[in-house]
Amino acid sequence: MAKKVIIVGGVGGGSTVASQIRRLDQDSEIILFDKGAHIAFSNCGMPYFIGETVKERDDLLRDTESFAKKYAIDVRINTEVIAIDRSNKTVTYKNGAGEKHEHYDTLILSPGASAFVPNISGRNENNSFTLRTIPDMDKINNFIKENHPRTCAIVGGGFVGLEMAENLKALDIDCTIIDRSKHVMKLVDKDMAAIIQEHMETKGIKLLLNESLEAFTDNGKMLQLSGNKNLQVDMTILAIGIKPNTELAEQAGLTVGKTGALVVNEYMQTLDKDIYALGDVAETTDLLSDKPSNVALAWPAHRQAYIIANHLAGNTIPYAGTLGSSIVKVFDLTVAITGHSSESLKEKGIPFQEVKHRALSNAGYFPGAEKISIKLLFHSGNGKILGAQIIGEKGVDKRLAVIATAIRGNLNVTDLAELELAYAPPYSSPKDPINIIGYKAESMVTENK
Ligand SMILES: Cc1cc2nc3c(=O)[nH]c(=O)nc-3n(C[C@H](O)[C@H](O)[C@H](O)COP(=O)(O)OP(=O)(O)OC[C@H]3O[C@@H](n4cnc5c(N)ncnc54)[C@H](O)[C@@H]3O)c2cc1C
């Protein structure tokens, strides 16, 4: 008899696992629930729609009917799954027509995460926003179109905060980023963050670091900050962080791990072998340290979807762990990261050394060469590459991709000197900056012996 697969959440992980399962299995009945009105939308593109780089809202959306038809999936939008009964293998869901139940053979949870909103007094939801969903994006966009704000406070200097600063500035809105850390982008080290900060300041973004938001007054337009400072703005974006949506699973007795996400095995199964979890809600392991890790990015969600679909089809491909490779555009800069920062290695007690190199993206005499800064962290005992941070205007993504591949292929830091990376003046130098990092590290590793 055909099996019934129920998927909760229909965006990054949910829609991907649905289509992957269908590719491998033509027979199962697949039901995809999402409490929102859209599935498979491009959340990563939302800041760029607000900033008008992406002109058409529809370009971020996927037509539900054509998705359902293409993959023969019963897609139920505006329908929230509110309970899981593991002993009877049913879910309870609710929509405009009330509450109903549905049986499952396999249940897959991809409910994502919610924007973390601290309990701060005086917040006015009409001028203070988070950005996770299409309705969130619409609210910000409508506010801007209707109220023509001139100033914005962005609380949180991570990926979303930095992307929003650039996109709001493109609309001529003056932005101030408030972050309680010493520097923006806590995934990079302080010295590398300084490059980002300097660039942002040249673009007119104000930074208030070591400051946190304590309260709102004046109908949400005055921010009271920790250092007795006040900031008057027309709007606020809260980009403080996210919290995995584990409530449904917790009520069903599934385990939440150290990171606050759902514990799964290498095949993405929770402690109940018929219930899988993936994406922002799942706790996997860190590829380098093997410690619990919850990385809320699109790549892990897509890879995990593949692992689950294959597992259901009888192909046991374990999830190897997450490296956390990420990339973000900050005005003219590209900031790319993989593996650990110095702080994260210190926290884990892993001994490391760093090698830095500042070079040009390609031959200096060739028009358009730009500076590129690379910082690489490696194990001081065995030379294993533990992390990289690369910042520049050109050629950053390919260098990051080389390092991420090198880590995945278990290359040592000195192996980087041996990589035969393609050269012609518009693209690189005969010794690519990645090779130079390898050469520099060679002398350090030799000194260690
Ligand atoms: C503004 C923004 C920019 C981003 N940019 C990038 C980027 O550049 N690169 C990158 O790698 N990642 C980026 N991400 C992160 C990436 O989008 C997520 O990691 C990915 O979407 C995770 O997929 P998911 O399935 O776990 O969660 P989501 O894609 O968030 O999907 C979860 C879905 O589950 C639904 N849901 C939740 N609970 C229920 C329930 N009980 N019943 C029914 N439905 C439910 C929600 O409505 C939601 O639609 C960005 C995210 C945001 C918000």
Give the up-direction half-sphere exposure of residue 129: CA atoms within 13 A in the CB hemisphere.
25
| pTM for this predicted structure | 0.97
Rounded CA-CA distance 91/88 in Å is: 9
Q: Say if residue 445 is exposed, middle or buried (CB neighbours under 10 Å; 0-12, 13-18, 19+).
A: buried
Q: pLDDT (tens digit, 9 = 90+) per residue, 83-138?
A: 999 999 999 999 999 999 999 999 999 999 999 998 999 999 999 999 999 999 99
Please give the structure tokens belonging to residue 208: 């208030």
Q: Are 287 and 387 in contact (CB under 8 A)?
A: no
Residue 350 token pair: 């892993």
Structure tokens at 204: 């007119």
Phi, psi (degrees; rounded to nearest 5) at 169: -60, -35
| pLDDT for position 312 | 98
> What is the per-residue pLDDT for 236?
98
Q: Is the CB of 77 under 6 A from ligand 1?
A: no
According to the model, what pLDDT value does residue 446 have?
Answer: 67
Q: Is 335 in the pocket of ligand 1 (CB under 6 A)?
A: no
Taken in order 305, 306, 312, 317, is the CA torsion positive or negative?
A: negative
139, 219 contact by CB (below 8 A): no
List CB contacts of 35: < 8 A, sequence separation 6 or more. 78, 79, 80, 81
What local confidence, expressed as pLDDT, does residue 449 receive?
61
Which residue, by CA, sits nearest to atom 39 of ligand 1? Answer: 111
Residue for token digits 């709001």? 168
In DSSP terms, 7 is beta-bridged to 32, 108
**Substitution site in 42, 60, 91, 110 for ligand 1 pocket (most atoms within 8 Å of beta carbon):** 110
pLDDT of residue 228: 82
* 44 noted as active-site residue: yes
pLDDT at residue 207, as a whole number: 98
Across 153-165, average pLDDT: 98
Give DSSP secondary structure letters for 53-94.
SS--GGGG---HHHHHHHHT-EEE-S-EEEEEETTTTEEEEE
Q: Is the CB of 220 under 6 A from ligand 1?
A: no
Q: Rounded to the nearest 10 degrees, what angle do helices 12-24 and 298-312 cross at?
A: 30
The catalytic position among 4, 24, 36, 44 is 44
Residue 34: CB within 6 Å of ligand 1?
A: yes
Average pLDDT of the residues in 174-199: 97
Using CA of residue 96, residue 99, residue 104, residue 106, what is the dihedral sign? positive
Structure tokens, 431: 């010794």
Q: What is the pLDDT of residue 227?
A: 82
- Dist. CA 59–CA 57, nearest whole Å: 5
Rounded CA-CA distance 74/177 in Å is: 43
Give the atom of ligand 1 at the shortest distance from the alpha carbon of 133: 53
Has residue 448 got a pLDDT over 80? no
Residues 6+ apart with CB under 8 A from 96: 78
The three state secondary structure string of 14-31 is: HHHHHHHHHHHCCCCEEE
What is the per-residue pLDDT across 26-79, written as a single tens digit (0 to 9) for each? 999 999 999 999 999 999 999 999 999 999 999 999 999 999 999 999 999 999
294-336 pLDDT tens trace = 999 999 999 999 999 999 999 999 999 999 999 999 999 999 9
Residue 237 CA to residue 83 CA, distance in Å, equals: 32
What does residue 46 show for φ and ψ, rounded to 5 degrees?
Answer: -60, -45
Identify which of 112, 98, 103 has the alpha carbon closest to the alpha carbon of residue 84. 103
CB 18 within 8 A of CB 7: yes
Name the average pLDDT for the chain: 97
Q: Which residues contact 265 (CB under 8 A, 6 or more apart)?
A: none
Q: Which pLDDT tens digit goes with each residue over 210-255?
A: 999 999 999 999 999 998 889 999 999 999 999 999 999 999 999 9
Three-class DSSP category at 102: strand
Q: Specify the DSSP element, H or E, that contains 222.
A: strand 222-225
Render pLDDT for 376-390 as a digit per residue (tens, 0 to 9): 999 999 999 999 999
Q: Is the CB of 248 under 6 A from ligand 1?
A: yes
Residue 152's pLDDT is: 98
Question: Do residues 347 and 436 touch, judged by C-beta distance below 8 A?
Answer: no
pLDDT-derived band at 447, boundaries 50, 70, 90: low
Report pLDDT for 62: 95
Mean pLDDT computed over 6-20: 98
Token digits for 250? 């917790």
